[in-house]
Amino acid sequence: MKLSSALCVLALAVSSVHAKEYTASERAIRLAQENLLIDTHIDVPYRINEKWDDVSKATKGGDFDYPRAMKGGLNAPFMSIYIPANLEFEGKGESYQLANQLIDGMEALAQRAPHKFAMAYSTQDIEAQFDKGLMSIAMGMENGSPIEGDLGNLKHFFDRGVRYITLAHSQSNHISDSSYDVRRKWKGLSPFGKQLVVEMNKIGMLIDVSHISDAAFYQVMEISKVPVIASHSSLRKYTPGFERNMDDDMLLALKKNGGVIQINFGSSFVTNSSRSWYDKRSAEEKEATSRGANKTDFRAAYIARNPFPFATLEQVLDHIDHVVKLIGIEHVGIGSDYDGVGDSLPTGLKDVSTYPNLVQGLLDRGYSEKDIKLILGGNTLRVWKHAEAYAAKF
Ligand SMILES: [Zn+2]
């Protein structure tokens, strides 16, 4: 016992050498608490579908639960109706089935704890529920595969409360090419994808350009009559060659469109060293498993040999700064990817309780309270309102 507690002290001493302590001032906490905070990408639905947990109460694992979200000042998470990309999966009803089940899970959560949560279907809901102290559950669909080439399904998912669709995920689908997929079947959007963008505008469904290929992004820019979001993307400036993030030309196009990029916190989206860590591990893993190694064992040994280079809160702030400098304060928001990026979150931003640290960082960099309000939720709300107003014409 004595020995193990001595080891514990040693472990803490070692980790405190590496990890800077983040504390938010009263002012930063107040700003996070008092202003509308929207995070456009949190992966709770898939997380609890894989391993159920009651996130209306404190949970042991995961990045989101109600008490921590309250501590962080979160008012309106967009819960991700995430559908894994899998060609075998697409077009055979499974995506549609899973999307409906994940939506059911969110409705069940809101109904189980009606004094904590309420579903949000409009910006009016978001504002009214903010005033009442209820946490809004908004929904975005990550991967358009459940649409299955049928505009009736677009209406179905809109009616069920989905308010944005990420056109593709990690593989090209029937709507769009994916940034992760070397096959560029459509050279951007498919003919149906182009039609879908028009219909999404008309119905008031936001278009999410995260994950799609550059060509698809520029085609969306041409077709969409409404500002778009990049619900959980970061900048290619800090991760050269990583098409999943946005480059400066794309940011300039986004400015023209009036849209918002919500910065992803995952370390591998934020720094090149975290990105290369994954690339190197994948390469070595491929070789090791081809020689018969067990994947889990390989990964444990790999991380023991190569500690993961976590990004820091400051590096996340660099992404926000760059967007602001290049295209202005009106075009950046928060899309953390909590519960979607495993153990790769940056120091200082480990879960939904840590938004005040981000606010502190913004204050330290000279952002005004008005600016911070826009980043926390104002910009996202503006784009959503624009989509609602456009759809009201039809
Ligand atoms: Zn994603």
pLDDT at res. 85: 92
Domains and CATH numbers, the chain: 5-271+309-392 (3.20.20.140)
Residue 344: partners with Cβ closer than 8 Å, 6 or more residues away = 266, 267, 268, 274, 308, 310
Centre of ligand 1 to C-alpha 279, Å, is 17
Centre of ligand 1 to C-alpha 80, Å, is 9
Centre of ligand 1 to C-alpha 169, Å, is 7
Residue 10: partners with Cβ closer than 8 Å, 6 or more residues away = none
> What's the whole-number mean pLDDT along residues 253-260?
98
Q: What are phi and psi of 377, to 5 degrees?
A: -170, -25
Q: What residues pair up with 319 in beta bridges, in sequence order? A: none
Residue 57: partners with Cβ closer than 8 Å, 6 or more residues away = 65, 66, 67
Pairwise CA distance, residues 214 & 204, whole Å = 24
For residue 261, the one-letter residue type is: I
Centre of ligand 1 to C-alpha 307, Å, is 24
Centre of ligand 1 to C-alpha 31, Å, is 28
| pLDDT tens figures, 290-347 | 999 999 999 999 999 999 999 999 999 999 999 999 999 999 999 999 999 999 999 9
| pLDDT tens figures, 50-68 | 999 999 999 999 999 999 9
pLDDT at res. 87: 62
Identify whether the C-beta of residue 314 lies closer than 8 Å to the C-beta of residue 31. no
Q: What is the 3-state secondary structure (H, E, C) of 142-182?
A: ECCHHHCCCHHHHHHHHHCCEEEEECCCCCCCCCECECCCC
Q: What is the 3-state secondary structure (H, E, C) of 256-313?
A: HHCCEEEECCCHHHHCHHHHHHHHHHHHHHHHHHHCCCCHHHHHHHHHHHCCCCCCEH
pLDDT beyond 60 at 160? yes
Q: What is the pTM of this model?
A: 0.93
Q: pLDDT class for 10, splitting at 50, 70, 90?
A: very low
Centre of ligand 1 to C-alpha 108, Å, is 24
Centre of ligand 1 to C-alpha 184, Å, is 19
| pLDDT tens figures, 170-184 | 999 999 999 999 999
For residue 351, the one-letter residue type is: D
Q: pLDDT class for 13, splitting at 50, 70, 90?
A: very low
Centre of ligand 1 to C-alpha 180, Å, is 11
Q: For the chain, give the mean pLDDT.
A: 94
Pairwise CA distance, residues 297 & 291, whole Å = 13
pLDDT beyond 90 at 11? no
pLDDT at res. 2: 36
Centre of ligand 1 to C-alpha 1, Å, is 44
> What's the whole-number mean pLDDT along residues 347-359?
98
| pLDDT tens figures, 211-233 | 999 999 999 999 999 999 999 99
Centre of ligand 1 to C-alpha 47, Å, is 13
Nearest to 271 by CA among 317, 323, 305: 317
pLDDT beyond 90 at 5? no
List Cα–Cα distances, 26 to 122, 281, 313, 363, 370, in angstroms.
31, 41, 19, 12, 17
Between 204 and 21, the more confident residue is 204
Pairwise CA distance, residues 136 & 356, whole Å = 19
Residue with tokens 């608490």: 33
pLDDT beyond 70 at 262? yes
Q: What are phi and psi of 348, to 5 degrees?
A: 95, -15
Pairwise CA distance, residues 333 & 208, whole Å = 13
pLDDT beyond 50 at 281? yes
Q: pLDDT class for 72, splitting at 50, 70, 90?
A: very high
Structure tokens given for 354? 């840590």
| pLDDT tens figures, 84-131 | 997 656 777 899 999 999 999 999 999 999 999 999 999 999 999 999
Nearest to 134 by CA among 80, 56, 64, 79: 56
Centre of ligand 1 to C-alpha 211, Å, is 7
